[in-house]
Each structure stands twice: as structure tokens, then as C-alpha cells.
Structure 1
């Protein structure tokens, strides 16, 4: 009894000591500060259209009165640069160093609403450095009524601007000039709103012990460039093991929703400029990241997750009649999860945090910070359906088609109310429907130190009770502190209603605004209808209101807009109200100007304010770039010129170091690199080896630099599973063009051809597991080496037991072979009952099917999936039923395996210092009488000395000197 108590106590103490603190605790969110910054602190510097030098016919287009059919109304400060013809350009002089650029642009739609492609050229100091591809595929949503259409239905065109970002081939320095120029591509008229430039940080290395989605184990799950299944399997392993998942630099296509399950797992990419996730399905429910969705896995199992450091895009271009269900992040992230340093574009919503699957689960303590939430068709972030104690901090939210940041206490399925959410130190811009920040109910929320600017057809801040839920019935206090609103509000939104910069209506109660500053609102600065109670404004400044000179007659008789529209005596303005620069009463029917109170003079007199008739003011901008991140070292290669890096050798080896490969070998590719000048430490010299123009294997972790004329050996980070037949590999150093001033790119590649012998005993591979028996398919075989359309194909499969216990005999080991995921086209094996011993294989062959035991081949690409169909109690004790499928691709007609005549030999890379095994190596690895010439590194040349450079060669087993 004492012993059991001691063990239990030890486990309890161990668990207490070893438990991981919430990832959300890793970031300290500062409290409201009247003297602090307002807006997000980001690493980039913006160069706006009004500060550009124009040439070649470029013009600055402005919208002076915020007309909603003017494209410029959707631009920063209501102006952008039009590039109408070949050679037209905008140019800026750099204030800081930079090598990353974000470009906000506009270009025309097409009649079918599907958009078109184009390009603009980038010049540095009048020298062209690269061309940037653009598309209007995502752009243009049309509002003839309240809801959008994907093609022009004679409505106002929103989402006129989109963004692209890119790393420059040549970095910028202070006082350099960067030019965005039209080449007249496709004869399109382009527009540029602004550029933002920044120093791109170095890639984030793979954390020690982390599982990587590119590990060899997950290659079997990759179909083309679709990594969805590989991501799922890698996350399972990370959750069960190191609690770390790494997504290296590169672009990863995902064909459907990535359902995330785990606890205490840290998922990181190489950085927002390097790791790109692309959801390829454009249809409803086609993509995004879902946390703890009970319809696809363990309900609610997404606890204390940390997700960071990658860019996410999609192929979505429609809200699908408000039914897209295609959020970048959605469902439930619990237990103090953190999502940070994410850049996302082109989703229905950026974040929709709520649970609509199975029992209701709630996100509590989630923090979203340091993110770029851009160009979505609906909300940027919505804390919905009971989400509480959640925070959005230091994020850039812009160009969204509904609220930028929202809290909605939706009570769908009986959800509880939400409370104590925070929006702090964010920059919200270019929202083209609804509002920049919206609160629809709850209690204890805090909204502070946010910067909101350039709303189009939307409010800056709005509160109302138009949606389902408890709304404000439980509200004791919601506070807004130290927020700045610039050019917010509209007299004609998508529903043809008007919205003030701060707009409050319905049964809103107990809300306090403190130290609020509103600048240059085109419409009313503040509007409060009848209904709200307990609304208090403290220390309020309105510097510019009704500047569009527009009138309104929404919900009343026509009148000129004003600084404040007040219909409610339950509102207090205390501790100072300053008003300046309000357009005069054009209609002439407002007795209480600059307030509009429906000519209720008593109500107007209850508002005490100072009107400043002769005042000048500066409209504040978003925070300047973080000085700790901007203006630093852009590129360690700065100042190094006339260098030539070359790839001198290429070699392949299996796990035993043998270069004579056979089917199933796990192959590492090795290369030898050399440069004529020193390459400093910190420069990542990437190498990529591509097999047969399809699969690529890379190394990007070499950052120790190079000493002049001293070769180094670089190996790929993952292995290639050797397939029988002849293969061509191409190795390329600096495949990302980081070393843009390399004087000779021709010697950066090397090509080799070699053979892999067929292996009669190759059965595939598996990863051993413990705790029971685990059946996995490791290989699918066909009865024909070549397959033509019309051939009858019989499938077999190797099934391995990866577990540490035997799978018992006497039970039917059934395997289905499914063609193209069509369950109407299957064959099966159901006559194997001998069991499978631990770490052994069983071969099963189709002996039946819906149309016999053979598939009649048809032309084209096909997938064949072998599925161990252990249902109805068959092998029910297997420890993992989630890994019972294995898929291959067949391209019909399938030719018989072909081998290469006179294949190349691997290069002798020597000791990495330039010392090779020379003639001895050549004599042992080349055919003595094949007629070719070989240099001392084993490279093969022609059959004559014509064209050979001076040096020592081996020909027909003899030494030959070419002078």
C-alpha cells in the first residue's frame, strides 16, 4: 500500500514538474497605455503612392470625395499610381536596407469573374532585377445588393486591390532607388497603391528532435506535390514523441482541410518568407486548418498548441453564397494555444474560432499575435460562440470583406456567453464591408491601442445587436481605450446604409470609450441611435468629419452629416470633447451643427464640447517600422563581388556507402562545392538534387561558409527510395539564387545518369512500433512489367507486421485494391489466414473482385490503394488502424523498366578538401574498355580527345595526357 502511494506521489510530482506551461504565456501582452504606441509594430517600412517619383506616363489617381465607384477610394489615403502603358513606372528612394517587398496592386477583372494574369518589372537603380507575376484571380467582389457576386452584376466593385510579396534577387540599401515598372504585359492597365520593404530574417532551422514533414518516412504519403497526408502522419508522430513538428522552406500543396490534433505540440515553419502552404481546392470546405474537429478525429483534442512561422494561401476566390466554410484557422484551439508569426491570404476568414461539430467545445486563453491577416473575403478574426480570454495582439489586418476583428457571442447549439477577450495594439486597414472592429456582445472585453484607417464602405468600430446570441444582456463593462481612427465611415455601404467611424445601435449597453481620436472621417465621426444605454465617451477628439461633403437620409429626413449624430440621452461625453474641421451644413436644415440631433436642441446642449475653428493637425500614421528589425544587415554577401561558386562533384550512396544501387535502397546524394572567394558564415548555400525531373531532395542547413578554393561535401537531408531502372539526376547549388552576383551560373549544375537494379526480395519498409501488432502495407505489385490499355492486371501486396507482437493466425487478412478511390472498382484478397509474425512480411494476391480478380487497364494516370480491410472483428486488437492504406500511381500505358546504356559513374568526392583517390578510383569504377575518356574524378567524356581540356585521363584502362 505504501509502495503504491509512493509511486502515485512520484508520478504526480513528476507530472507537475515536467508539465509545459501554456504557449500563450510565452508572449506578454502589454496593458492599455495612453502614452504608448497605437497600432502594430511591424518590421516593414511603407512607401505610399503620394511619395513616389512617376515617369513614363504614370499618373497619380485620387478620389477627393470618397465616391464608392472610384477605385482610388479603396486605396491608402484614397490615391494610387496608375501604370497605363509600357515603360510607365513609380520609383521610391530607400530609407532603410531591405530585401523583402510587399506590393499592393490593382489590375482588371475578366467578364467571367475568374481574373487574369499579368506582371510588373522590378528595377534597382535603373537596372532590371526581376519580374513579378500578378493575378486578379482573387480580386473583385461585386455588390449590387448586400451580398457579393464573383462577377460583375452592375454592382460596386470591391476588393479592387490585392497583394503579392517577394524576396529581391538583389538587396536594397539606404538611398537605393526601387522602381515598379510596367512592361505592358497583356496590354493591361496596372495600379500600385504602395510597397512595403523589410529585412527578411534568416530561415529558422529544424529544432532539435523535431519531426519534419519531409522526412523519408512520409515520402510514401506525398502524391505529386500534395502533402496533406504527410502532414497528418508527421503531426501524429510529433504528438506521440518529441512534441515538435517542422515544415522546412518550400511550397507544400494541401488538397483539403488539414485537421490538427495534438497536445503541447509546437509546429513551426522556416519563416513566413520561406515556408508556403497552398490549399489547392477552390471549392466549399476545400481547405484551411481545423483544430480538434470531432467529425474527423478525437473531439476537442487540440490543446496548448503553438503554430508559427509560415505563409498560407489558398485557391478560394468566392464566398460561395456565404457557405464557403474555408477559414484559414477554424474550430477549437484550447489550453492557452498560440498562433503567431503567420502570414495568410485569400481565405473566407482568417480565423473563425468556434466549434460547430459534435459537443460544444470552447477556445480559452488563445493568443494570436505578430500575424499578417490579409485579403480575405469575410472576417479577419472572429472570436465566436463562447470563445473567452482570447487575444489578438500586434497583428496587421487589412483588406477583408467583413469585420477586421470581431467578437460574436453566438449561442448556436446552446453555447455559453463569451467574456474577457482582448484586441490590443493592432493595425486594421482597408476593410470593405461591415467594420474594422466589431463587438456583438459578451462581457469584460478590452479593445485598446489599435490603429484603424481607410475603411471602404464600412465603419471603423461598430457595436450592434443584429446577430443571434445573448448579445449584451450580460454586459457589465466593455472598454475601448487609446484607439485612433483615420478616414473611417461611409454614407453608402453594401446594403446602401450609412456607417459612422464609430457606429452604435441596438440594445448595446455599458461600453466606455476612453482617449479616442478620430481623424478625417468622410461621414459622421460618431453615431449613436436610440436604444444603447450606459455609453460613455471620455477624452474624445474629432479632428475632421463629414469631409466627403455627402448627405444622408438613411432612417431620417435628408441632412448633412456632422461630427456626432446623437439620438440618445443615455450617452455621456465627459472629461473633454474636442471637435474641429467639420464640413458645413450643405442642406441647411441642422440647427445643432456640428452635432446632428434631429434638431433636438436640448439634447445638443447636454453635450459639452470645444469647437476649434482655426486649428491645424497632423493625421497620425501607423507605427514606423521596428528599428530593431529594419535597417540591419540585409545580406552577408554585401561587398563580395566577382565570386564563382561551382558544383564539382556528384555522388550517390546507399546506407552501406555502396554506389551500386538496387531497388529499395535508401539513397543519399552528395555533392562537392567550391568557390574562388570566401563565403562568410551565415550564408545558407542550398543544394537541390532532382530525380527524373520529379522528386527533389535538398540541403539548406549548410551555413558555415566556404574558404576560397577549399571544397566541401554537402549531403541531402533526406533519402530517395531507389526504384528499378535508369535514372537521371540533376544537382544544383544555390538553387534559390541567393548568390545573385555569382559570375558563372553555368557551373552550378551537374547531371548524372545511373541504373538501379531490380531486387526480387524488395518488400518495402516499415517503422517498428511497440505495444502490440501493427499491420501495414509496404508495397503493391502487378503481375505485368508493362501494361497497355485493355490489359488485365492482377495486384499483390506485401503486408508487414511493424509491431513487437505476432499477429495471430486463423483470422482472415483481407486486402482490398481500390482503383482511383472508386469503391465500385475493386479487387481483393481474402484467403490468407496464416498470421504475420513480428517484423515479418506476408504476400497476398487478389483472388476475387466485383468483376473478377483482375482490373482492366484504361489509359491515363490511376491511383491504386491497398487497404487492409480488418473490420468485423478481424485483427481488432491491432494497435493502429489509421495506417492501413498504401497508394501507388500507375500511368497507363506503363512501359517495361528501361536501363541506361553506358551509365555515368559517381564522382570521387575525396575527403572534402580536394584530395581524391585519383587513378585508382577510376580504374576500379569504370569499364576498362568502354571507349570513353574519364578524368581523375571519374567524370565521363567523349570517345575522342576532341574538345577535351588539358589534363590527365583514363582511356581503355590506360593513362592519357591531353596537352
Structure 2
């Protein structure tokens, strides 16, 4: 499927370039600037995903004298981790130029530059001009990118296998008592290549103005990959006059000294005087957790108020197992009653996390917060953007941007109830973009609605691990890279059982259905996984669109060692559109059954149903039953996708058929 790739290797290891060099593609006046959402025509995802203040433009659609890379959906390549699976590579002296589709005074550039030969990253310049003038220089860095090796990864490109007794695999779900991995070529499995940088332009430019990104001739980066440009019209700073202003308590807006103590004093004063805390424009150094309870903290806006910190190594591990601390706003631990009435808005949190240590609490937002709101934050370079350890209830998370995380974007972990995550934008998470994980206590009554999740490097766009009466609706999920799907419903990781109902409604997935390297098979854009328990709650999948699927659109599976223990039942698909599958519409590798009504499919690359059941192949038919409730139309070259395979649940077990790349999605 790959047309061209840039192999993901650092300076000193060589770089293989491919694609077509373009000479000033898209000359002035040729066509209006192309605007996308998740690298797709916005008309195909109307009403779904987050309503954001910026406009997205892909570098491969802009004017450039660089080299387009991709499309590629192979893990561990620069093109595969790019939005839309394409990007532009620039050598020193080359440029990519975007035409602004709307007035803007701020831009965000998503990019990649090489790692240092021994790891740890480099910095490199990128010149920005508008209409050939108003030059400024962004400083790009790879310090927060470039991970290697097996889970939980390393920053060292020269490292030997972290787990030489494992299969070459991405997670600890494969038992240790397996065939040891053979010798490897270093660097082994580089990944997590991209980062992004924001820039205020200093004035407002009009639609039609030209923003050119040029790699200076003397750049120390052998190559620079530009993935996309977001442009935005940022409003003036928010001012709160009557408040506990952190400057009055000694905070340093220039970031030269640590302001954590000043923040703590302002919070204490605000609580005594029943005031809000206000953080005016500036960059504030904070190198530890700020504990919040019964307090409102407002910034001037996430472009103006930046709370930035170093990751600090602890002298001895904390009781929770952390070996580092860093910037973050934390509610009290649930064991201490948690926090309530916390309201955070209008600032950025920038961490310094460069490696994955699962015991570390180095998240942007953490702890337990009930009856609280988090709105309008911009979080990057932390381990997890927001990680909540319940029990807790009634949290509203809205209008936030979470990017460039080492692990999850957001995780409701253990007993989070009656809470909403709405209109948030998540890009380049190192694990699940959004997750509910019902470990020990069920997450219940929660809703993930109208969020956009793009390019999770590992795992899923949205994952629901157990729980009761939860809803995933109106989201847009694009480009999961490996070991996951756009949406996963999983009985795994010690999660409590699914009970009550789970509603997955009116979501759109794009370029999902990745390849599962552990199993050596393709996944579905939506993936049901019965690993530790039956999945038998009332699950309604209604109104979802699965577009441009690399392999399957829908997958229901158990793992081989437990295939005769666990089943998936009571799943109902209705009013679904499937536009393009590399292989099948449905892949079933489990016992149980599901019903299908008004599931319309087109551009199907293989037989519509891959039904292996639980691999016992009884003469009576598959152990997985597909119930046809009518209206299941369309298919591919093999005919109607469902009709021939329903009764008597015909066994059509072919896990690895030839992959037929589907055409680009189009209006239905």
C-alpha cells in the first residue's frame, strides 16, 4: 500500500526519501486553499468531532519545492504517523507555503526533525514569513519525540532489546514464556516522530495571504518534515480584575524562577476571600504539582498564559510509585476524599516528559475532581494530558487541546461517574486518545461527545474498558497508527465487566483498521475484544461511519488462549455506513453473535464477512452468529457484503486476504 515513505531514522543513521518532488505546486490563483478536517473533506464529517477555532491545512496540498512522502500505513514510518498518512520533507533551503483560508494571527506547525545520533533530540530553526515579509524563526525540537524499542520504550536508539525474552511485540499482553526475539537492527522500531509548535504572528493577516515555512540553508537538521499547518484568529487576552492575581504573590511571568509557591499562596488567599485566582499573560515556571480544591483558576487564554515546568527526579520514590514529578494541576487523591468545586480555564500546561514511566504522576491534570470543570486548556509534553483516579463524579471537560503526549490524551480511571468530555481536540497521543478504564470500580454514566482524536501513535483513538451505561457519540477519530483501532470496546487490563448499556452513536472514523503486529492480522475501525470476561451488555452501535478502512471496518475477537471461555453477544449495529475496506466489513474471531440492520457498505476489498468463530469449525456452522435484520446493502466485487454468509453462519475464515486499498471516501 505504501507509495513512498521516509524511514524513521535519525541523523547519523541515514534517511531514505521517496515520493515526488514538486516544483511550486499550486501556483497563485490556480485554486482556493484546500481546508481539511483530519485530512478529509470537511463535508464528509459535518457535525462530528470538535468545533475548534483553527483551520487545518495539509502540507501535501500546499505549494512546495520539497518532497511529498506517503501515502503509507506501515508502522514506524514518518508518512504513516502523519495526518492523512502524507507529509512534505524539506531539505535545507526548501519551503512549503500555505495560503490562509481565513483571517489569522496565529499558527501551529506539526513537524518532525531527526533525533540526535545518541538520542535526546536536537533543535533546528524554521523560518516563517508572511507575504515574503514579517520574518520570524521558530525553534523546532525533537527532544519530545523519537522513542524506540519495545514497550514502554526508550530514548536510546542504540539500546538492546528491553525484553529479550518477549516476542518482538508492543505490549506486555504477550506472556514472557514465548519465543525470544532474534537479534535486531538498531535503532529498533523508532516511533513517535512528530511534535508541534505554536507561534503568534504579531498582527492579523487576511485570507489569501501566504505563510511560507522555510528550512534555512544552514540548518543542522538534515531534513525537516512538515505535516500540517493550523491557522487561527486568537482573541485578546482575558482579564480578570477582581481576583487573587498570582503576580501579587510573587509569581514570575518571565519564567526565570519557580512560581509554584506563589501559585499556592494565591490559591490559599483566594479560598479565604472567596475570590478567583487569575494568572495574567506570561510564562510561569512550575516544577511540581499544584494541588487544587474548591478553587477557580483562570488564565488570560491558552496562547497567553503558559505554565511550564521541568521534570524533576525524586530523591526517593513517592508512595504512589512515582520517581519523577513535574508541572500539573492535581485534585486531592480519592483516598483523601478527592477535590470538589475546581474550575480551571484559559491557560496552557507545558511539561518536560521525554520517556514513559507508567508509575509516574507527571500528567497535566490529575487526581480526583468532582463537581468541577476544565475548559480551554492547551496541554502538551506531559505523560498524560488528563488522568483521573476515582471514585469521583460530575466533571465537565470542554474545549481543550491535548497534544504530543507520551501516553494517553485523557483517561477516566476507576469509578468516574456522570461526567462529560466534550468538544476537545487530541492529537499525537502515545497511547489511547480518550479512555474509560473501569479498573476495580466501574466508570458509569459518562459521555465522550463531539471530540476529535487524530494520530494516536499506539493503541486506540477512543477506548472503553468495561463500565456501565456509558456513551461515545459524535466523535471524529482518524489515523490510529498501530496496535489499536479508532474505537475499542475491551474486556482487558483488569477492567470490571460491561453492564447496563454502551451506546456508540454517530461517530466517524477515518483511515482506521490498523495492522495488529502481535497477531499478524488486520483490525477493525471498531474493535470488540473479549480477553478477560464475556462482553454481553446491551451494546448499540448506531449511525456510525467507517471511512477508508485499512483492513476491516468491524472486528469482534477473543484471544486464542481464551477463545472457548469468553464470548461477545448482544451487540447491535444499525444505520451504519462503511465506505472502503482493505479487507472485510466484519471480522469475527470469537463465539457469540451480533445483529445488523441498515448497514450499507461499498468499496469492500474482500469477502464481506470473515467468520472464524472460535476456530473449532463445527459442521453446524460458525460459533459466531450474524443476524440480518434487513437493509444491509452494498458490498464489493464479491457481491452483497452480508447476504450469503448469514445462515447457517457460514464459516469464511480467511484472516489474511489480499488487501485492496480503497478509493478515497466520497459523499454517500
- The TM-score range, normalised by the shorter chain, is 0.7 to 0.9
* Cα gap change, 1:496 to 1:304, in 2 (>3 Å): farther
> How far 1:67 sits from its partner (Å)?
1.7
- Counterpart secondary structure, 2:594: strand
- Counterpart secondary structure, 1:73: coil
> How far 1:401 sits from its partner (Å)?
1.0
Q: Distance in 2 between matches of 1:221 and 1:616?
A: 51
2:136 to 127, 130, 146: 130
Which deviates more from structure 2 when the two are superposed, residues 563-572 or residues 394-403?
Answer: 563-572
2:404 is the counterpart of 1:369 = no
Partner of 1:280: 310
- Counterpart secondary structure, 2:417: coil
Aligned residues of 2:548 and 2:665 also touching (Cα < 8 A): no
Matches within 5 A, 1:907-922: none
- Counterpart secondary structure, 1:464: strand
Q: Distance in 2 between matches of 1:222 and 1:109?
A: 29
Q: Distance in 1 between matches of 2:215 and 2:588?
A: 49
Deviation per CA, 1:459-484: give whole Å up to 9, x if none: 11111122124232xx1101010010
Q: Distance in 2 between matches of 1:70 and 1:127?
A: 35
- Counterpart secondary structure, 1:74: coil
- Counterpart secondary structure, 1:407: strand
- Counterpart secondary structure, 1:318: coil
Q: Distance in 1 between matches of 2:331 and 2:78?
A: 41
Gaps of 5+ in 1: 1-33, 356-361, 547-560, 585-592, 622-963
* Cα gap change, 1:255 to 1:533, in 2 (>3 Å): same
2:125 is the counterpart of 1:119 = yes
Aligned residues of 1:376 and 1:400 also touching (Cα < 8 A): yes
Q: Distance in 2 between matches of 1:128 and 1:95?
A: 19
Partner of 2:647: none
Deviation per CA, 1:46-83: give whole Å up to 9, x if none: 1112320112xx1111134x122321011111100100
1:267 to 294, 297, 306: 297
Partner of 1:610: 633
| TM-score of the aligned structures, taking structure 2 as reference length | 0.77
1:468 to 471, 491, 494: 494
Matches within 5 A, 1:192-203: 192-203=226-237
Matches within 5 A, 1:736-775: none
Partner of 2:512: 488
| TM-score of the aligned structures, taking structure 1 as reference length | 0.54
Partner of 1:341: 376
Q: Distance in 1 between matches of 2:131 and 2:326?
A: 42
Aligned residues of 2:548 and 2:663 also touching (Cα < 8 A): no
Aligned residues of 2:124 and 2:221 also touching (Cα < 8 A): no
Aligned residues of 1:489 and 1:523 also touching (Cα < 8 A): yes
2:467 to 420, 442, 458: 442
Partner of 2:593: 571
- Counterpart secondary structure, 2:500: coil
2:339 to 295, 302, 320: 302
Q: Distance in 2 between matches of 1:570 and 1:207?
A: 61
* Cα gap change, 1:365 to 1:432, in 2 (>3 Å): same
Deviation per CA, 1:171-223: give whole Å up to 9, x if none: 32111111111103114310100000010110001242x001100x4369999
Partner of 2:608: 594
Aligned residues of 2:605 and 2:636 also touching (Cα < 8 A): no
* Cα gap change, 1:44 to 1:223, in 2 (>3 Å): closer
Q: Distance in 2 between matches of 1:403 and 1:287?
A: 22
- Counterpart secondary structure, 1:156: coil
Aligned residues of 2:245 and 2:277 also touching (Cα < 8 A): yes
Q: Distance in 2 between matches of 1:236 and 1:605?
A: 60
> How far 1:125 sits from its partner (Å)?
1.2
1:330 to 359, 366, 379: 366
Q: Distance in 1 between matches of 2:190 and 2:45?
A: 39
Q: Distance in 2 between matches of 1:471 and 1:132?
A: 49
> How far 1:42 sits from its partner (Å)?
0.3
> How far 1:312 sits from its partner (Å)?
0.7
Partner of 1:45: 55
Matches within 5 A, 1:545-944: 545-546=581-582, 561-568=583-590, 570-584=592-606, 593-598=607-612, 606-607=627-628, 609-613=632-636, 618=665
* Cα gap change, 1:376 to 1:619, in 2 (>3 Å): farther
Q: Distance in 1 between matches of 2:667 and 2:299?
A: 35
> How far 1:410 sits from its partner (Å)?
1.3
**Higher-RCO chain (CA-CA 8 Å, sequence separation at least 6):** 2
Partner of 1:504: 528
Partner of 2:556: 528
Gaps of 5+ in 2: 1-43, 160-186, 314-322, 559-566, 638-661
Aligned residues of 1:279 and 1:314 also touching (Cα < 8 A): yes
Partner of 1:687: none
Question: What is the CA RMSD across the aligned residues, in angstroms?
Answer: 2.6
Aligned residues of 1:447 and 1:479 also touching (Cα < 8 A): yes
* Cα gap change, 1:67 to 1:325, in 2 (>3 Å): same
* Cα gap change, 1:501 to 1:371, in 2 (>3 Å): same
Q: Distance in 2 between matches of 1:289 and 1:497?
A: 39
Q: Distance in 2 between matches of 1:500 and 1:219?
A: 50
Partner of 2:82: 75
2:259 to 227, 248, 253: 227
Partner of 2:176: none
> How far 1:279 sits from its partner (Å)?
1.4
Q: Distance in 1 between matches of 2:491 and 2:206?
A: 51
Aligned residues of 1:465 and 1:471 also touching (Cα < 8 A): yes
Aligned length: 541
Which deviates more from structure 2 when the two are superposed, residues 101-110 or residues 598-607?
Answer: 598-607
